[in-house]
A and B are shown apart, each in its own frame.
Chain A
C-alpha cells in the first residue's frame, strides 16, 4: 500500500516533468507537440549511452539538461516558429515526422533491443521507512529531484518578470507585441525549457523502466490526458493532474485485477482498471469541460 503510494507519487512527478513542457508550449505557441514523447525517449537513450560509456548515470543529467535545452532551442528556431501560424494539420505532420525521425535515429544509434540501465551505485539500496517496509533510494531521489524541478518551474513562471511575460504570451500574444516585447525570444526559451524537462524525465526514468523502442508513445498519450485534465496551458493544473493520474494509474493497475472473480461487477472493475486514467478524464471533462484549472470560457 505504502509502496504503491510512493510509486504513484514518483510516476506522477515524472509525468509532470513531461506534461508541464507540453502544456507550456501549447499555451504560449498554440502548438501541440506530438514529438514531446520522443524527447522523453531521447532522454532515456542518453542515459543508456552515457552510463554505458562512463559506467554511471550521473553525467547524463547535465547532458540531458544542457543538451535538451540546446535541442529545444534548435527545433524552435529551425522548425516550430515557422509552423506556429500554420494550420493544425501542418503542425501534426511536422511533429509526427519528428517522431519517425527520432525512432529512426534511435534505431541507428542503439538498435531495437531492450536495454536496462543500472541504478547508480550509491543509490542502489533500500531505505527503511517503517519497521516492515523499505523503499528504493533511487526512487526517493527521483521524487526529490522532480519536486525541486517542479518548485523551480513554479517560481520561474509565477514569480519572475520573465515568467509574467510567459503567462502574458499565453493569454494575449498581441498585447505582448504591443508592449514592445519580442515574443520570439519567449517562444525560444519556453520551447528549450519544455524540451529540457522532457529529456531530464527520460534520463531519470531510464533505470526504472529500461529503454526500448517507442517508449515515449504511451507516455505522450498519458501526458495529453494530464494536460487536458489540468486545463490546457495551466502549469499548476498539470501538476495536480499529473499526481492524480500517477496515483490512479498505479493503484488501478495494482489493485484492479484483484477484483477478478468477485462477481460480474468485480470482473467489470478488473477489466476497466487498465483504463482508469481515461475514465478519470471523461469524468473530469463531464464535470468541468475546460479541465481542473482551465480558464472558464
Chain B
C-alpha cells in the first residue's frame, strides 16, 4: 500500500506558554476527503499551518509521501503538491485577478497541467469578467473563488481549505461546496475545515473533531451524525 499523502504524528505546538496542539496525529490518504471540525480556538488552523511549515512544532513529525518534512520551508512542502487556502483567503490585493492566477500556475508533481487558466475560468466565469481588477476590488465571494482557483492552478494532490465558506452569501456557499465535490471527483484529496456540519458530513469520507488540541472523534461521518450527544458537546449542534 502506498504511504499516506500526509501523515502527522504526535504533534505538540505551543504559542508561548499555551499548549495548543497536544499530541495530535492525522493522516490523509491520496484522493481522500477529510472533514476537520471543532469549535473556535480548538487548534484546526494551527494544525494546518503546522502541516504547511508556517508554525514550528515543538515535538512530533510531519511526513509527506512517507518522507519526513518537519522543519522544511513552506514552499518545499507546497511543492510536494499541497495547496492551502487560508482563513481570510490570502488574495493579493496589489495584483490583478489574472496576476494572482498566473504567479501560482505550475504543473503538478506528475508533470501534468490538468488545471490550467481556461479550465479554472470555466469553473468560475466571474473571475474571467474580473480578470483585470485588483484583488482588493473583489467581493468576499469572488476572493474565495480566486483563492480556490489559484490553489487548483498549482495542480495539487491535496487541497486544504480553512473556513472557505465563512461569511459568504448562501448562493456562493453552494457554489463553493459544488466546487469541493468537483475537486473530489477529480481525484484530489481535500482537507476541509468548516463549521457547516451537514455539508461537511455530506462530502467527507472521514471526519475528525478537535477539542483543545486533541482528537475527540475520528471516523466516518455517519458515526458522528448518529451520536447527537457528541455533536452537541463538541460542535454545538
Name A's B-contacting residues (CB within 8 A): 161, 164-165, 167-168, 170-172, 174-183
Contacts and interface: CB of A to CB of B under 8 A. Distances in A.
A172 B150 CA distance: 15
Given A161-B102, A168-B103, A182 B95 contact: no
Interface in B142-166: 150, 154
Contact of B103 (A177, A179, A183): A179
B104 interface: yes
A178 B103 contact: no
Contacts of A182: 75
B92 A172 contact: yes
B95 A183 contact: no
Contacts of A164: 95, 99, 102-103
Contacts of A168: 92, 94-95, 103
B92 A180 contact: no
Interface string B68-106: 000001110011000010100010111100010011101
Interface in B15-35: none
Given A161-B103, A164-B102, A171 B52 contact: no
Contacts, number: 59
Interface residues of B, number: 21
A168 to B, nearest CB: 5
A177 B99 contact: no
B79 A167 contact: no
Contact of A180 (B54, B86, B102, B154): B154
Given A179-B103, A181-B103, A171 B92 contact: yes
Contacts of B92: 167-168, 171-172, 175
A290 to B, nearest CB: 14
Contact of A178 (B52, B95, B106): B52
B54 A174 contact: yes
A199 B7 CA distance: 50
25 contacts: A161-B99, A161-B103, A164-B99, A167-B95, A168-B92, A168-B94, A170-B94, A171-B92, A171-B95, A174-B90, A175-B86, A175-B90, A175-B92, A176-B75, A176-B103, A177-B73, A177-B74, A177-B75, A177-B78, A178-B54, A178-B74, A178-B86, A179-B78, A180-B79, A180-B104
Majority secondary structure, A binding face: helix
A164, A172, A180, most chain B CB atoms within 10 A: A180
Given A164-B102, A165-B103, A179-B78, 4 more contacts: A161-B103, A167-B92, A174-B54, A175-B86
B94 A167 contact: yes
Given A172-B90, A172-B92, A180 B75 contact: yes
A161 to B, nearest CB: 6
Nearest to A177: B74
Interface string B99-133: 10011101000000000000000000000000000
Contacts of A181: 75, 103
Contacts of A161: 99, 102-103
B69 to A, nearest CB: 13
A176 B86 CA distance: 12
A180 B83 CA distance: 8
Nearest to B79: A180
A178 B77 CA distance: 8
B157 to A, nearest CB: 12
Contacts of A178: 52, 54, 74-75, 78, 84, 86, 90
A11 to B, nearest CB: 29
In order of increasing CB-CB distance, the 6 nearest A-B pairs are A180-B78, A177-B74, A164-B99, A175-B90, A180-B79, A177-B75
B95 A179 contact: no
Contacts of B95: 164, 167-168, 171
A167, A170, A183, most chain B CB atoms within 10 A: A167
Contacts of A171: 92-95
Contacts of A180: 75, 78-79, 104, 106, 154
A91 to B, nearest CB: 21
A174 B49 CA distance: 11
A167 B100 CA distance: 11
